[in-house]
Amino acid sequence: MKEGMMMLLPVQFRPFNDEMPLSWMQRMALANGFDDLREMMHIIGIISKPYDYPSSDHWKDVAKMLYDQEWIKSYQDEVKKASLLIDNMITKKIYICPQCLNEELQQYGQFYYHMQHHYIGAHTCWKHHCNLASIDPIDYLIFEKDPHLQPDRGIYDPNKEQQILSLVDDPEMLFEELIRYQIWILMKQTDKNLDDINQPSDIPLNAEYMDRFDDVPELLFDVVKGKHAHIKDEATKTYIFKCLFDDYHSYIHLIDRLKNRKRPAYIDLMDILAMKGSVLYAHQDKRL
């Protein structure tokens, strides 16, 4: 694009409430006749090679190609706050609520990716209280067809998830609650519960890391029994995440990110968590 030249996309719309930037960009690309997001980004000059992946901030470049600029500031705030709880806004693993999907297909003829479904530690849709399914997008082009949803294994609890993530103003508590929740899930998968843990060796841990045991099972045992374990040491936290989570990277990033935040950031986040239950999911899409 030449400098000073203003290019506008012919088909324009705002993101839905709680929509991931990736999702909105992809819908824009398809609605404007491109094969996929990368083709649009390449042709309008946002990425230099057609196989480059867009970055999490590229939605702002796409937004510049709209007449309507009024929504951008509030969406930017929403994305910024949510990104505290989302490991990667340009994720290649997409989570979808089968019920949201059906509702959106009925209401809008298409569906979109929700930020809440991508929160670290959230395995459920907080609106429908059902398990999320994960899908691998093929060049992000999955909006118009049934992606054959495979619900994730496990018995999850949306109320617990909201409670846990509302603890973001206390990283130590958040850490302990996240691991207690995960141990509870792992026990449920074998039809047991936390009461069936009578000694440290009853805690289900990732076998891959078993040989590196030291005092971790004892620490976790304290957490399971509701005692404050006061695990301050970063290496131990990382090790615990590896023992408990397949996607341990996300959890390490979350704790890492919170460590360097000042309190007001958490309060902001609690505001949006509170909104998720009411305003955002009222399905009155003011941005439409």
Interface residues with Zn ion (CB under 5 A) are 97, 99-100, 125, 127-128
We find the least distance from the C-beta atom of residue 255 to Zn ion, in angstroms, to be 27
Q: How far is the CB of 102 from Zn ion (least distance, A)?
A: 9
> For Zn ion, which is the closer residue by CB, 125 or 164?
125
Backbone dihedral angles phi then psi of residue 185, each to the nearest 5 degrees: -65, -45
Return the number of the residue (116 or 245) whose C-beta is nearest Zn ion.
Answer: 116
Contact 24, 58 (CB under 8 A): no
Within 8 A by CB and 6+ apart from 152, the residues are 123, 131, 132, 133, 134
Identify which of residues 112 and 184 has a Cβ nearer to Zn ion in the complex: 112
Residue 188: CB minimum distance to Zn ion, A: 21
The span from the CA of 112 to the CA of 269, in Å, is 22
| In the complex, least distance from residue 127 CB atom to Zn ion, rounded to whole angstroms | 5
* Tokens representing residue 257 in the block: 């990110």
Min. distance of Cβ 129 from Zn ion in angstroms?
8
List of residues 6+ apart from 125 with CB closer than 8 A: 97, 99, 100, 114, 116, 117, 132, 158
Query: CA 137, CA 30: separation in Å to the nearest integer?
Result: 14
Q: For residues 111 and 89, what is the distance between their CA atoms, to the nearest angstrom?
A: 17
CB of 108 to Zn ion, least distance (A): 14
209: three-class secondary structure by DSSP: helix
Nearer to Zn ion, 89 or 97 (CB): 97
Residue 130 Cβ vs Zn ion, minimum distance, rounded to whole Å: 7
Kindly give the residue spans of alpha helices, DSSP state H, lying in 34-170: 37-43, 58-63, 72-82, 98-108, 158-165
Residue 184, CB-side half-sphere exposure with 13 Å CA sphere: 16
Taking a C-beta distance cutoff of 8 angstroms, is the pair 168, 258 a contact?
yes
Nearer to Zn ion, 86 or 255 (CB): 86
- Between 72 and 135, name the residue whose CB sits nearer to Zn ion: 135
CB nearer Zn ion, residue 22 or residue 100: 100
Q: What ranges make up the beta strands (E) of 70-143?
A: 94-96, 133-135
Q: What is the nearest approach in angstroms of Zn ion to the Cβ of residue 112?
A: 12
Beta bridge partners of 50: none
Comparing CB distances to Zn ion, the nearer of 7 and 279 is 279
